């Protein structure tokens, strides 16, 4: 219908409709403009957030191209936005070792957003080639195949973490190598362990897991029952006063061995003000404790010997060389090492051996002396190792050997230098812990004896000459003691004479020794040493004759009555007679040398200080 034919009413309705439609279009346009404005404002806010976020952020397109970067990313990479946006792919910044993993995440994320992690770590390289560790978070942009990635630099953290791991590794290695056990335990009656270091096994013979939470044994139960209460009270007292504790005590290990330990610890106060845990370190001091006990024993023995300056047990002598012998004996008594005693015949080697045994820890066990020179070669094994019944003709019953007889005690091998090479090999095997078999026996017996040997030969020279095996020598020559001959310690003659007279003489037959007799005793060289002196004095008391054995120096002094042996002033003591004799000798030598003290000391074979001291004593 044409507009001319339309009625007025129709035209008015159509106009109203047009106006309504115009209003609708205007409303739609207003909303569009409003939406556009909101979008622009939203985009500006997004860009502001994107730009001003504290992390390096980029937008990655489906083809891996970077379409947008912020200032932090520029700072991270050292490149500008113009160099990056639309021109570079994010893979160009990732280190080669991480690229394939990153590409895999990129593809999976676009196939299924849940199939790739949103957060992970990787390393990126900047324009200077510097590599940094990054913590990355990636989110897909809704309705697109683009993603937003933010990068947090965790290089410093990773370095710290790496240093911490290395520190923990070193600490763990250190704790494992320490000769003891570090621990952390509850402050309870059982000392329940929460942590023990690897040294636990070395210290206690228990594995760490066996002590944790008292899985096999509580640490308090390992402490020796005699020390347990004291340990508990010391820890309790230290913790209550807020101070660290230090103490030593004994433990019983898993193998039943007793050990002395030293513990240092400290209680830790929790937030509620109570000490709920204790940390500390426990170390093995068994060897130190044994040494301490040995030194204490040695000190006691030395102190007891000092009470009699001129006597050590049954050994007599004040000479300086004898004082050294006493010192060596004292050291030998606190050890189980083999001893070799050197000295001429008659110097008292067996006496020294018996004294070592008597003062040793095994003093209540047998002391078996053996004269090696008196044992034929063909009987060596049967004598030393014993034999079984029926081992040979005449073996009617089992017989223990010297090693059996001395078990737990001391075997004294006198005249060791007389043992032939074949016998040395057999002894060496026993000394090296190889054990021995009785003749006719099949079971090997481990020797449990301490060897003290003696000889009048120079074993080092015997080794050079091939008469003593070198390995045998070193097994024997551990603690050497050398006894001086009597001719080198004649200042001990008064002590020795008095000692033997007290043994062999009585009040009725006690001889009086004048200067003439003492002079003969003093001037004699004593090739038979103390044993010869003992025999000479015993004959002198019995036969009233002073008789020396070697013909070249043998002299006899017949006893023609008491007056012939008495000094002019009547009977005097042995000590006074010796003093008078010594004084006369010194005066004679001084006069001979016109009172030149150096020459006098040389002839008397004493040092100048000793000469001066003796001159002062005698008022010269």
Same domain, 145 and 246: no
Same domain, 330 and 464: yes
Same domain, 544 and 494: yes
The answer on pLDDT for 309 being more than 50 is yes
pLDDT digits (tens, 9 = 90+) for 126-141: 998 999 999 999 989 8
d(CA 597, CA 610): 11
What pLDDT does residue 19 have? 79
Q: Is residue 7 part of a domain?
A: no
Same domain, 352 and 435: yes
Cα 416–Cα 421–Cα 422 angle in degrees, nearest 5: 110
Same domain, 167 and 266: yes
Distances (CA, A) of 157 to 54, 135, 161: 17, 11, 6
Same domain, 313 and 228: no
Two structure tokens written together for 330: 């004292």
Same domain, 442 and 317: yes
d(CA 463, CA 502): 43
**Residue 446: CB partners within 8 Å, gap ≥ 6?**
433, 435
Lowest mean pLDDT, pick from 249-258, 304-313, 488-497 = 304-313
pLDDT digits (tens, 9 = 90+) for 181-223: 889 999 999 999 999 988 889 899 999 899 999 999 999 999 9
Same domain, 467 and 343: yes
CB 532 within 8 A of CB 549: yes
Cα 367–Cα 370–Cα 376 angle in degrees, nearest 5: 155
| Percent composition of the chain: helix, strand, coil (DSSP 3-state, to 5) | 50, 20, 35
The answer on pLDDT for 172 being more than 70 is no
When pLDDT is averaged across residues 399-416 and rounded to a whole number, the result is: 93
State phi, psi for 408 to the nearest 5 degrees: 85, -10
Q: Is residue 15 part of a domain?
A: no
When pLDDT is averaged across residues 539-543 and rounded to a whole number, the result is: 81
Owner of token pair 């159509």: 14
What pLDDT does residue 100 have? 93
Same domain, 442 and 354: yes
Q: Where in the sequence is the domain holding 64, given as residue range(s)?
A: 53-153
pLDDT digits (tens, 9 = 90+) for 254-293: 999 999 999 999 998 887 888 999 999 999 988 888 887 7
What pLDDT does residue 290 have? 83
Taking each helix axis as running N to C, give the angle between helix 320-333 and helix 286-306, from 0 to 180 degrees, rounded to the nearest 10.
Answer: 140
**Residue 333: CB partners within 8 Å, gap ≥ 6?**
297, 298, 301, 356, 359, 360
Same domain, 125 and 186: no
Average pLDDT value over all residues in the chain:
83
How many CB atoms lie under 10 A from the CB of residue 227?
17
The answer on pLDDT for 174 being more than 70 is no
Q: Is residue 45 part of a domain?
A: no
d(CA 464, CA 473): 11
CB 318 within 8 A of CB 492: yes
Could you report how far apart the first and last alpha carbons of the chain are, in Å?
175
**In 3-state terms, what secondary structure has residue 173?**
helix
Lowest mean pLDDT, pick from 23-37, 41-55, 437-451 = 41-55
Predicted confidence band of residue 5 (pLDDT cuts 50, 70, 90)? low
Q: Is residue 91 part of a domain?
A: yes
What pLDDT does residue 300 have? 63
d(CA 387, CA 442): 11
Owner of token pair 């090479």: 421
When pLDDT is averaged across residues 58-67 and rounded to a whole number, the result is: 92
The residues with which 247 forms a beta bridge, in sequence order, are: 263
**In 3-state terms, what secondary structure has residue 133?**
strand
What pLDDT does residue 43 have? 57
What pLDDT does residue 34 have? 72
- Which of 226, 258, 284 represents a domain boundary (last residue)? 284
Predicted confidence band of residue 353 (pLDDT cuts 50, 70, 90)? very high
CATH number at residue 453: 3.40.50.300
Two structure tokens written together for 215: 């899985």
The answer on pLDDT for 563 being more than 70 is no
CATH number at residue 126: 3.30.450.20
Residue 57, classified by CB atoms within 10 Å of its CB into exposed (0-12), middle (13-18) or buried (19+), is buried
The answer on pLDDT for 35 being more than 70 is no
The answer on pLDDT for 167 being more than 90 is no
If one compares 199 and 303, the residue with the highest pLDDT of the two is 199
For 511-547, give one letter per residue: b (16+ CB within 10 A) or e.
bebbbebbebbbebebbbbbebbbebbebbbeeeebe
If one compares 195 and 21, the residue with the highest pLDDT of the two is 195
Q: Is residue 424 part of a domain?
A: yes
Strand-strand pairing, 147-153 and 275-284: unpaired
Distances (CA, A) of 402 to 71, 319, 370, 509, 539: 97, 35, 8, 42, 35
Owner of token pair 């044992």: 375
CB 467 within 8 A of CB 420: no
The answer on pLDDT for 370 being more than 90 is yes
- Which of 135, 153, 171 represents a domain boundary (last residue)? 153
What pLDDT does residue 557 have? 38
CB < 8 Å & 24+ apart, contacts of 541-546: 541/501, 541/504, 541/505, 541/509, 541/511, 542/504, 544/511, 546/517, 546/520, 546/521
Number of domains, the chain: 4
Same domain, 448 and 380: yes
Predicted confidence band of residue 7 (pLDDT cuts 50, 70, 90)? confident
pLDDT digits (tens, 9 = 90+) for 453-503: 999 999 999 999 999 999 999 999 999 999 999 999 988 898 898 888 888
The answer on pLDDT for 42 being more than 60 is no
Cα 485–Cα 490–Cα 494 angle in degrees, nearest 5: 125
Nearest CA to 229 among 349, 486, 237, 432? 237
**Residue 136: CB partners within 8 Å, gap ≥ 6?**
119, 120, 121, 122, 149, 150, 151, 152
Q: Is residue 318 part of a domain?
A: yes
When pLDDT is averaged across residues 376-393 and rounded to a whole number, the result is: 88
Q: Is residue 30 part of a domain?
A: no
What pLDDT does residue 543 have? 75
- Which of 112, 130, 153 represents a domain boundary (last residue)? 153
Q: Is residue 39 part of a domain?
A: no
**Residue 182: CB partners within 8 Å, gap ≥ 6?**
175, 195, 196, 197, 199, 279, 280, 281
Same domain, 240 and 325: no
**Number of residues written out for the chain:** 620
Strand-strand pairing, 66-69 and 56-60: antiparallel
d(CA 406, CA 400): 10
Distances (CA, A) of 156 to 56, 73, 131, 138, 167: 16, 18, 12, 22, 16
């Amino acid at each position: 219908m044409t507009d001319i034919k339309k009625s007025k009413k129709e035209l008015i309705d159509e106009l109203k409709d047009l106006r309504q439609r115009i209003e609708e279009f205007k409303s739609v346009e207003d909303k569009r403009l409003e939406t556009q404005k909101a979008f622009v404002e939203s985009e500006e806010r997004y860009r502001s957030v994107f730009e001003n976020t504290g992390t390096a952020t980029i937008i990655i397109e489906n083809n891996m191209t970077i379409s947008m970067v912020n200032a932090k990313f520029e700072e991270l990479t050292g490149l500008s936005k113009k160099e990056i946006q639309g021109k570079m792919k994010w893979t160009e910044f990732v280190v080669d070792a991480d690229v394939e993993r990153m590409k895999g995440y990129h593809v999976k994320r676009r196939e299924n957003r849940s199939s790739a992690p949103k957060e992970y770590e990787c390393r990126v390289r900047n324009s200077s080639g510097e590599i940094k560790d990054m913590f990355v978070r990636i989110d897909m942009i809704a309705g697109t195949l683009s993603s937003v990635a933010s990068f947090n630099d965790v290089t410093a953290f990773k370095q710290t973490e790496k240093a911490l791991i290395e520190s923990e590794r070193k600490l763990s290695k250190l704790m494992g190598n320490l000769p003891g056990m570090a621990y952390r335990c509850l402050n309870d009656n059982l000392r329940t362990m929460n942590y023990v270091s690897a040294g636990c096994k070395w210290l206690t013979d228990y594995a760490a897991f066996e002590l944790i939470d008292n899985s096999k044994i509580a640490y308090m139960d390992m402490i020796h029952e005699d020390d347990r209460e004291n340990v508990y009270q010391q820890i309790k007292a230290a913790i209550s006063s807020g101070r660290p504790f230090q103490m030593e005590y004994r433990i019983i290990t898993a193998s039943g061995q007793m050990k002395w330990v030293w513990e240092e610890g400290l209680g830790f106060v929790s937030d509620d003000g109570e000490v709920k845990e204790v940390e500390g370190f426990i170390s093995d001091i068994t060897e130190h404790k044994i040494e301490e006990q040995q030194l204490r024993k040695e000190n006691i023995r030395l102190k007891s010997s000092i009470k009699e300056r001129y006597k050590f047990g049954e050994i007599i002598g004040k000479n300086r060389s004898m004082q050294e012998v006493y010192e060596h004996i004292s050291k030998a008594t606190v050890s189980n090492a083999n001893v070799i005693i050197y000295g001429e015949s008659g110097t008292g080697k067996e006496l020294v051996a018996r004294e070592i045994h008597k003062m040793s820890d095994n003093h209540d066990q047998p002391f078996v002396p053996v004269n090696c020179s008196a044992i034929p070669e063909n009987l060596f094994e049967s004598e030393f190792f014993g034999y079984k019944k029926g081992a040979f003709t005449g073996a009617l019953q089992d017989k223990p050997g010297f090693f059996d007889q001395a078990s737990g005690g001391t075997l004294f091998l006198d005249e060791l230098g007389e043992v032939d090479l074949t016998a040395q090999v057999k002894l060496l095997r026993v000394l090296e812990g190889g054990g021995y078999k009785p003749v006719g026996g099949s079971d090997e017996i481990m020797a449990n004896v301490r060897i003290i040997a003696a000889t009048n030969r120079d074993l080092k020279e015997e080794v050079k000459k091939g008469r003593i095996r070198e390995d045998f020598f070193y097994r024997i020559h551990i603690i050497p003691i050398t006894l001086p001959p009597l001719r080198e310690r004649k200042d001990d003659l008064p002590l020795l004479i008095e000692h033997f007279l007290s043994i062999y003489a009585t009040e009725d037959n006690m001889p009086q020794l004048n200067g003439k007799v003492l002079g003969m005793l003093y001037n004699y060289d004593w090739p038979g040493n103390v044993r010869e002196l003992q025999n000479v004095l015993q004959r002198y008391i019995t036969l009233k004759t002073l008789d020396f054995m070697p013909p070249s120096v043998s002299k006899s002094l017949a006893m023609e009555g008491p007056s012939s042996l008495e000094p002019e002033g009547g009977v005097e003591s042995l000590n006074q007679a010796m003093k008078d004799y010594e004084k006369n000798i010194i005066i004679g030598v001084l006069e001979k040398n016109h009172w030149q003290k150096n020459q006098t000391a040389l002839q008397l074979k004493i040092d100048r200080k000793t000469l001066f001291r003796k001159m002062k004593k005698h008022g010269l």
